[in-house]
């Protein structure tokens, strides 16, 4: 119910300025794409319920660590279905296109729901069910690959966006991809660490962009901005600090969490490490743009 409820809140908040048809379309798009993900989540829940005749985390964990053997194919299908649910909520390829459109909502909402809270629900769910995902290594590999590809693709799109909030939206998709890369490599605590660090610096960036948009009377095109440092010194400082954090500059928080993710990738799979590193370098580039 919470999973669906937060999707409803997202829908209502994206369509906040309901007189603008584009915003209404964006809200519907987010709602429908989340329904696709939620169907996956439901299928996963039903399969787990059928296999273990319980939906209680502790019961499932005890059953798995016990002696009786389960049909691994079905557990694999269940974890994959749950991952589809996480893809919808956490904006991974191919269900990521709703998040940039979700920026139609008011900026404080984007900062809270579409950067820090709702979009990390999929990551939390996979972390919470780590004992299930650990016994399905094939699904974990799919998660790692999709996470890495998403982080690279979203970073590439972010390089050429002109709308200040769209850049931050693609940046969010890219960072979520890195979190999924960590999940797929079994580094759950590192993924959650990045969830927490990202929540702070990305919310700060969104609020800073909101401050800029408000000062410029609703202008969101970055090509028409510049030289705002003298006019808005406090926003300048906050944006600079959070941009340094998301770019992974020590001693700020983003450095530690990204470093851990890339180190895990380096030890497990060099190809994924390369993709993750390139995406992280692009992050620094488009943030300072």
Over the stretch 44-77, which tens digit does the pLDDT of each residue have? 889 888 888 888 888 888 888 776 777 788 888 8
How far apart are alpha carbons 289 and 104 in whole angstroms?
22
Question: Is-above-0.75 flag for pTM?
Answer: yes
Nearest partner of 193 among 286, 268, 105, 259, judged by Cα: 259
Q: What is the CA radius of gyration of the chain?
A: 19
Question: How confident is the chain (289 residues) per 10-residue block, as mean pLDDT?
Answer: 82 81 83 85 89 82 76 86 86 79 77 79 87 85 88 87 84 88 87 88 86 81 77 86 85 85 86 88 86
How far apart are alpha carbons 81 and 96 in whole angstroms?
17
Give the end-to-end CA distance of the chain in Å, rounded to a whole number: 40
- As beta bridge partners, residue 247 has none
How far apart are alpha carbons 242 and 244 in whole angstroms?
5
Nearest partner of 277 among 286, 265, 288, judged by Cα: 265
Nearest partner of 219 among 109, 100, 107, judged by Cα: 107
Q: Encode pLDDT of 74-117 as tens digits.
A: 888 888 888 888 888 887 888 778 877 777 777 787 778 877 78
259 and 204 Cβ atoms separated by less than 8 Å: no
What is the pLDDT at residue 67? 66
173 and 88 Cβ atoms separated by less than 8 Å: no
Nearest partner of 113 among 27, 204, 9, judged by Cα: 9
């Amino acid at each position: 119910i919470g999973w669906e409820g937060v999707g409803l809140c997202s829908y209502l908040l994206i369509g906040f300025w309901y007189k603008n048809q584009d915003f209404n379309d964006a809200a519907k798009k987010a709602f429908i794409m989340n329904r696709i993900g939620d169907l996956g989540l439901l299928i996963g829940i039903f399969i787990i319920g059928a296999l273990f005749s319980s939906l209680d985390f502790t019961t499932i964990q005890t059953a798995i660590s016990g002696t009786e053997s389960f049909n691994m194919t079905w557990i694999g299908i269940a974890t994959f279905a749950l991952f589809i649910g996480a893809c919808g909520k956490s904006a991974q390829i191919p269900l990521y296109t709703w998040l940039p459109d979700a920026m139609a909502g008011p900026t404080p909402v984007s900062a809270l729901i579409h950067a820090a809270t709702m979009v990390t629900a999929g990551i939390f769910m996979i972390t919470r069910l780590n004992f299930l995902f650990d016994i399905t290594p094939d699904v974990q590999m799919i998660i790692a690959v999709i996470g890495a590809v998403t982080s690279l693709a979203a970073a590439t799109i972010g390089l050429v966006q002109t709308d200040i909030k769209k850049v931050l939206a693609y940046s969010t998709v890219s960072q979520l991809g890195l979190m999924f890369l960590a999940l797929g490599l079994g580094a759950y605590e590192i993924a959650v660490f990045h969830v927490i660090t990202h929540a702070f610096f990305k919310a700060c960036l969104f609020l800073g962009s909101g401050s800029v948009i408000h000062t410029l009377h609703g202008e969101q095109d970055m090509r028409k901005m510049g030289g705002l440092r003298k006019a808005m010194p406090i926003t300048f400082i906050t944006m600079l600090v959070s941009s340094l954090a998301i770019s992974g500059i020590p001693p700020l928080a983003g450095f530690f969490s990204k470093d851990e993710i890339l180190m895990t990738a380096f030890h497990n799979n060099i190809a994924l490490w390369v993709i993750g590193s390139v995406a992280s370098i692009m992050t620094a580039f488009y943030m300072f743009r």
